[in-house]
Amino acid sequence: MRLSRRELIALMLGAPAVATGCSPPPVVPLHGELFGQSFDIGHRLRDGFRPRPADDQWRDVQVAIVGGGAAGLSAGRALLQGKCDDFVVLELEPVAGGTSRSEKKGDFAYPWGAHYVPVPLADNVPLIRLFTEMGVVESLAADGSPIVAEQYLCRDPEERLFYQGEWIEGLYPATGASVDDHVQLKAFRELIDTFAAWRDSTGRRAFAIPTSLATDDKEIMELDKLSMADWLRYEGFNSARLHWLVDYSCRDDYGLSAETTSAWAGLLYFASRLRAPGADHQPLISWPEGNGRIINHLAEVVGPRLQTGMAVTQLTPVTSDRGDFVEVTCFNTQTQSVTGLRARHVIFAAPQFLAPRLITEFTERTKRKTDEFEYGSWFVANLHLKDRPKQQQGYPLCWDNVMFRSRSLGYVVATHQAGRDYGPTVLTWYYPFTESHTREIREKLLKATWADLADVVLTDLEVPHPQIRQLVERLDIFRWGHAMIRPKPGFIASQQRREARHPDGRIHFANTDLSGVALFEEAFDHGCRAADEVLSMLPQDRV
């Protein structure tokens, strides 16, 4: 059943928002569009849609990459660097990028999802190479750490919090904090520092990015059994302000509350960004279009091998006298035509939950299940403003703007990084569904209309910006059904997750969900690894 607007606001923003936000009739005199992942073809596949190409519609290719998000495109780039150029990247959506997708309209470029990457530490050499190629990293310091071009580092002022009716600097709700609150914040930071200093017997860090560089030592992996909130309590932290900060961080990075995020993942967020104990967290790299900039670069590198609007409907490993290969069935969502690829190798750069649906006899052959891979739903709005909200006092507009009482994550300002400080701008507003009953939420989200959702966005933003409705000229919304993998307690250490990266014959896996945390660095790492797996096998194929 479709929810009323009031019910939707109550569901998403909580009861107080209904009381304050809904009193005037919510007439939204603006326009916009509602976008989403291609639910249609996804659901047809789920319901058994398996078209078969005609016999003359087959062709051979060395590698087929399924999925044109960060992992798939990174794999494509890595193949090219390994001198393999006979591959295709098949992307279901009309636009590549997955959750790093972005858009450009008129003068403005803005993200639809991921929008920053912390400056990589010296040990993340492949990512530093990518950023050097993009001109983002200008040179290396003596210790190998990257020196990032100033214009790509998130410009000051970076973040602010709307707390008790006023914008304050930073994300910690410091106004009125007691001595105990400050003591706990300091103690928390010191504890994070001990994790930053921690090394296992082989010199690996407790928390590193990519996570493949981090330890698998039992002492650290045990943390996955706890929730982040439990861990805080276990360590004796009861400051409501600290709990809020940690909860916000979990919602921001994982779309989960502190109560439902694995303590391992929660600590990864804080500890992996420290170069050394006591250091400031690594600066952030950002672009007006967010991580869409990286996607655009990768797409340019891959070139015409990237095919969008191309749904892969089936992957079937085949053994024949001509050798082993994988039959890839593709459905062109534009022309509705069906074609086939005989690929020597497949890099499956799509979420794991699709593997049993698309790969023939996957479960029977691999004895692997994917039911512990759980994905959160998000919804993102881009608001085109004719001018910025007027503000008399408090900390000025930042890149990241967070509201303390809100269930949303607040908004980032697309023009911030471009140095445009006046006049029209675009705000990208994020909302994660942190609830555990994902399927139910997803269905409700699908039934909500644009006007309903637009009203949720505006009701949320009206708290700090009462005049926001007069400033918005266009409001587009993107619904992400399966947006990000959820690192709930136990998932990181689970056998399902640890085994999922192993190839199924000639099918190799690359996606950020294999790490259990949705981060660009993880997608990139898996893309490069899967490409390396393929490249190491290609010489044998040629024989």
Partner 1 sequence: MSAGSMNRAPLVLLYLNVLIIATCGLVYELLAGTLASYLLGDSVTQFSLVIGLYLSAMGAGAWISRFVADKSLARCFIEVELGVALVGGLSAPLLFAAFSRVDIFGVVLYGFVFAIGSLVGLELPLLMRLLKEHLDFEDLVSRVLAFDYIGALLASLMFPIFLVPRLGLIRTSLLCGLLNAVVGVWGTYLLRPLLNRHGLLSLRIRGALVIGLLLIAFVQAETLTKLSEESALGHAVIHAETTQYQRLVLTRSEQGFRLYLNGHLQFNSMDEYRYHEALVHPALSPIKSPKQILVLGGGDGLAVREILRYPSIESVTLVDIDPGMTTLADRFPPLAELSKASLRDPRVTVINEDAFIWTGRANGPKFDAVVIDFPDPGNFAIGKLYTTRFYRMLRDRLNDGAMISIQCTSPLVAPKSYWCIVSTLEATGYQVRPYHAPVPTFGEWGFILASAGPIPDQLALSKDLTGKSRFLNDEVLNGMFVLPHDLVRVKTDINQLNNQALVHYYDEEWGVWK
Q: Smaller CB distance to partner 1: residue 33 or 421?
A: 421
Closest CB 478 distance from partner 1, rounded Å: 28
In terms of C-beta distances under 8 Å and separation of at least 24 residues, what long-range contacts does 122-129 make, across chains too? 122/146, 123/208, 123/213, 124/209, 124/210, 124/213, 124/521, 126/524, 126/525, 126/528, 127/210, 127/521, 127/524, 127/525
Instruction: Compute the distance between CA of residue 458 and CA of residue 470 in angstroms, rounded to an integer.
Output: 11
Choices 146-154, 237-245, 479-487, 488-496; region in contact with partner 1 by CB under 8 A: 146-154
Q: Smaller CB distance to partner 1: residue 154 or 242?
A: 154
Based on the shown chain and the rule CB under 8 A, indicate whether residue 281 belongs to the binding site for partner 1. no
Q: Smaller CB distance to partner 1: residue 42 or 170?
A: 170
> Contacts with partner 1: how many residues (CB under 8 A)?
17
Identify the residue among 129, 368, 420, 474 touching partner 1 (CB under 8 A).
Answer: 420
DSSP 420: -
Closest CB 413 distance from partner 1, rounded Å: 12
Q: Decide: 288 and 108 in contact? Cβ < 8 Å.
A: yes
Residue 155 Cα distances to 91, 252, 388, angstroms: 33, 20, 18
Closest CB 397 distance from partner 1, rounded Å: 9
Instruction: Compute the distance between CA of residue 73 and CA of residue 86 in angstroms, rounded to an integer.
Output: 14
Closest CB 283 distance from partner 1, rounded Å: 6
Based on the shown chain and the rule CB under 8 A, indicate whether residue 418 belongs to the binding site for partner 1. yes
Q: Which residue has the tokens 């982040």?
A: 228
Q: Smaller CB distance to partner 1: residue 367 or 422?
A: 422
DSSP one-letter string for 267-311: HHHHHTTBSSTTPPBPPEEE-TTTTHHHHHHHHHHHGGGEE-SEE
Strand partners, 60: 342
C-alpha closest to that of 431 among 396, 451, 402: 402
Based on the shown chain and the rule CB under 8 A, indicate whether residue 157 belongs to the binding site for partner 1. yes
- Which tokens go with 519? 């981060």
Choices 3-11, 54-62, 250-258, 418-426; region in contact with partner 1 by CB under 8 A: 418-426
Instruction: Compute the distance between CA of residue 100 and CA of residue 112 in angstroms, rounded to an integer.
Output: 7
Instruction: Compute the distance between CA of residue 160 and CA of residue 402 in angstroms, rounded to an integer.
Output: 6
Choices 155-163, 187-195, 341-349, 479-487; region in contact with partner 1 by CB under 8 A: 155-163
Based on the shown chain and the rule CB under 8 A, indicate whether residue 24 belongs to the binding site for partner 1. no
Identify the residue among 151, 175, 467, 470 touching partner 1 (CB under 8 A).
Answer: 151
Identify the residue among 153, 177, 213, 221 touching partner 1 (CB under 8 A).
Answer: 153
Based on the shown chain and the rule CB under 8 A, indicate whether residue 421 belongs to the binding site for partner 1. yes
DSSP one-letter string for 61-80: EEEEEE--BHHHHHHHHHHH
Instruction: Compute the distance between CA of residue 525 and CA of residue 136 in angstroms, rounded to an integer.
Output: 18
Closest CB 147 distance from partner 1, rounded Å: 12
Angle among Cα 383, 248, 117 to the nearest 5 degrees reads: 70
Closest CB 400 distance from partner 1, rounded Å: 13
Based on the shown chain and the rule CB under 8 A, indicate whether residue 342 belongs to the binding site for partner 1. no
| Beta strands 472-485 and 400-403, pairing class | unpaired
Based on the shown chain and the rule CB under 8 A, indicate whether residue 280 belongs to the binding site for partner 1. no
Choices 94-102, 145-153, 269-277, 466-474; region in contact with partner 1 by CB under 8 A: 145-153
Choices 16-24, 68-76, 153-161, 246-254; region in contact with partner 1 by CB under 8 A: 153-161
Considering only residues 367 to 396 of the shown chain, the ones binding partner 1 according to CB under 8 A are 387, 396
Considering only residues 300 to 339 of the shown chain, the ones binding partner 1 according to CB under 8 A are none
Considering only residues 477 to 516 of the shown chain, the ones binding partner 1 according to CB under 8 A are none
- Which tokens go with 43? 């659901």
Based on the shown chain and the rule CB under 8 A, indicate whether residue 48 belongs to the binding site for partner 1. no
Closest CB 142 distance from partner 1, rounded Å: 18
Based on the shown chain and the rule CB under 8 A, indicate whether residue 40 belongs to the binding site for partner 1. no
Residues that bind partner 1 (CB under 8 A): 150-151, 153-158, 283, 387, 396, 418-423
